[in-house]
C-alpha cells in the first residue's frame, strides 16, 4: 500500500484553504439578490424572515459546538500519540475503571445535548405556526405545478407554472427553472399563515431564504407561516421526489409593500376571474 507523504497532505490542505478563500471572495463580490443563491456561495442563503434568522443563530451555535468538539478530540488524539506511544511507554499502564473519567465522559455529552436541545425545541415551536396571522395563503401541489388561493381576498385562486426556457427574459430578471408565469405575491411585514396540501402525490413547498419547507400531503393540510422582512423576489422548488417532472415545480414569491399588494389583489381578481375553482375544474374534467 502506497504511503502519502506529509508534503502531499499539506499541499492538499493549502489548496483547500485557497479554494475556500477564493470561493468566499467570489460570493461576496457578486451583487446580493434576495432569495437567489449565488455562484460559489458557502453556507445558507441570507435570512429574510424571522424563522430563518433563528435558523442562522442555531446553525452558528452548532458550528461553535461541533468545532470545539473536533478541536478537542484532535488535540486529545495528538496528546495520546505523543505521550503514550510505544517508544515513550515500553511498559503500558494497566489502570482500569477510572470512576471520575467515566462520570465525565457520560455527563459532558449529556450536557452538550441539553445545550443543543433547548434552542432546537424553541426554534421548532417558533416555526410551527403563526401566533396572530394577518392573512392566509393556501398552497396546493399538483403533478407538476402549484396552485395558490387567497381565502381572505375573495378566494382568489390561480395556477403557477414554470416559464419555458425559450421564453425566459434574462433582461427582465427571470431565472431559468425558477421563474414562473404567476408568482405568489405577498405583503412584507405581515404574518402569513400558509396551508399546504396536495391532490395527487407528496410534494414539498420549500423556499430556503425564508426557512419554508413543508410537505404537501394528499388528504392532509399542513400548516406553517412566514413573515418576509424585505421586499424582493424569493425562489424555491419542490423538495420531494414527486415524479418525472419534479424539477418543473419552481416557487417564486414576490414580497411587495402593503399598498402594492392591495393593488395587485384588485388586478389579480380581474385577471383570474374566469378561471374555475380547483374543485369545479376537477369535477368538469372527470365528467369529460
The domain segmentation of the chain, as residue ranges, is: 45-88+99-128, 135-275
As a whole number, the mean pLDDT across the chain is: 84
pLDDT, greater one: 26 or 194: 194
pLDDT class for 23, splitting at 50, 70, 90? very low
Q: Is the peptide bond before 144 cis (omega within 30 degrees of 0)?
A: yes
Q: Which of 3-7, 27-31, 135-139 has the highest mean pLDDT?
A: 135-139
CATH topology of domain 45-88+99-128: Helix Hairpins (1.10.287)
Measuring CA to CA, how many Å separate 48 from each of 55, 139, 207? Answer: 11, 20, 11
pLDDT class for 32, splitting at 50, 70, 90? low
The answer to whether residue 205 scores a pLDDT higher than 80 is: yes
pLDDT class for 283, splitting at 50, 70, 90? very low
> Per the structure block, which three cell numbers stand in for 201?
402525490
Q: How many percent of the chain have pLDDT more than 90?
A: 55
The answer to whether residue 6 scores a pLDDT higher than 60 is: no
pLDDT class for 253, splitting at 50, 70, 90? very high
Q: Shortest CA distance to 150 belongs to which of 262, 26, 34, 250?
A: 262
Residues 71-86: what's their mean pLDDT? Answer: 90
User: Quick one: pLDDT at residue 273?
Assistant: 78
The answer to whether residue 282 scores a pLDDT higher than 60 is: no
* 211 neighbors 242 (Cβ within 8 angstroms): no
The answer to whether residue 70 scores a pLDDT higher than 50 is: yes
Query: CA-to-CA distance for 101 and 141, rounded, in angstroms?
Result: 54
Query: CA-to-CA distance for 158 and 55, rounded, in angstroms?
Result: 31
The answer to whether residue 240 scores a pLDDT higher than 70 is: yes
Residue 164 dihedral angles phi and psi, to the nearest 5°: -60, 150
Helix axes 50-83, 99-128, angle to 10 degrees: 160
Q: What CATH number does domain 135-275 carry, 2.60.40.790, 3.40.605.10, 2.10.240.10, 2.60.40.420?
A: 2.60.40.420
* 91 neighbors 15 (Cβ within 8 angstroms): no
Residues 148-155: what's their mean pLDDT? Answer: 91
Residues 92-116: what's their mean pLDDT? Answer: 89
User: Quick one: pLDDT at residue 73?
Assistant: 94
Amino acid at each position: 500500500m502506497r504511503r502519502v507523504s506529509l508534503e502531499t497532505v499539506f499541499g492538499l490542505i493549502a489548496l483547500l484553504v485557497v479554494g475556500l478563500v477564493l470561493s468566499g471572495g467570489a460570493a461576496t463580490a457578486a451583487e446580493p439578490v434576495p432569495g437567489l443563491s449565488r455562484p460559489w456561495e458557502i453556507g445558507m442563503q441570507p435570512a429574510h424572515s424571522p424563522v430563518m434568522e433563528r435558523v442562522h443563530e442555531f446553525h452558528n451555535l452548532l458550528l461553535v459546538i461541533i468545532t470545539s468538539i473536533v478541536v478537542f478530540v484532535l488535540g486529545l488524539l495528538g496528546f495520546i500519540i505523543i505521550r503514550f506511544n510505544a517508544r515513550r511507554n515500553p511498559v503500558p499502564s494497566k489502570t482500569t475503571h477510572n470512576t471520575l473519567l467515566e462520570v465525565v465522559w457520560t455527563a459532558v455529552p449529556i450536557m452538550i445535548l441539553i445545550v443543543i436541545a433547548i434552542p432546537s425545541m424553541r426554534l421548532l415551536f417558533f416555526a410551527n405556526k403563526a401566533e396572530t396571522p394577518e392573512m392566509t395563503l393556501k398552497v396546493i401541489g399538483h403533478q407538476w405545478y402549484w396552485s395558490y388561493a387567497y381565502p381572505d381576498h375573495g378566494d382568489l385562486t390561480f395556477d403557477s407554472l414554470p416559464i419555458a426556457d425559450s421564453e425566459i427574459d434574462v433582461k427582465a430578471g427571470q431565472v431559468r427553472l425558477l421563474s414562473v408565469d404567476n408568482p405568489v405575491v405577498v405583503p412584507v411585514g405581515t404574518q402569513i399563515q400558509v396551508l399546504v396540501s396536495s391532490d395527487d402525490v407528496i410534494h414539498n413547498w420549500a423556499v430556503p431564504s425564508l426557512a419554508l419547507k413543508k410537505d404537501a400531503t394528499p388528504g392532509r393540510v399542513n400548516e406553517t407561516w412566514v413573515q418576509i422582512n424585505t421586499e424582493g423576489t424569493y425562489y424555491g422548488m419542490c423538495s420531494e421526489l414527486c415524479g418525472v417532472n419534479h424539477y418543473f415545480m419552481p416557487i417564486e414569491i414576490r414580497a411587495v409593500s402593503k399598498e402594492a399588494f392591495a393593488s395587485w389583489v384588485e388586478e389579480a381578481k380581474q385577471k383570474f376571474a374566469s378561471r374555475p375553482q380547483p374543485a369545479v375544474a376537477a369535477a368538469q374534467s372527470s365528467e369529460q
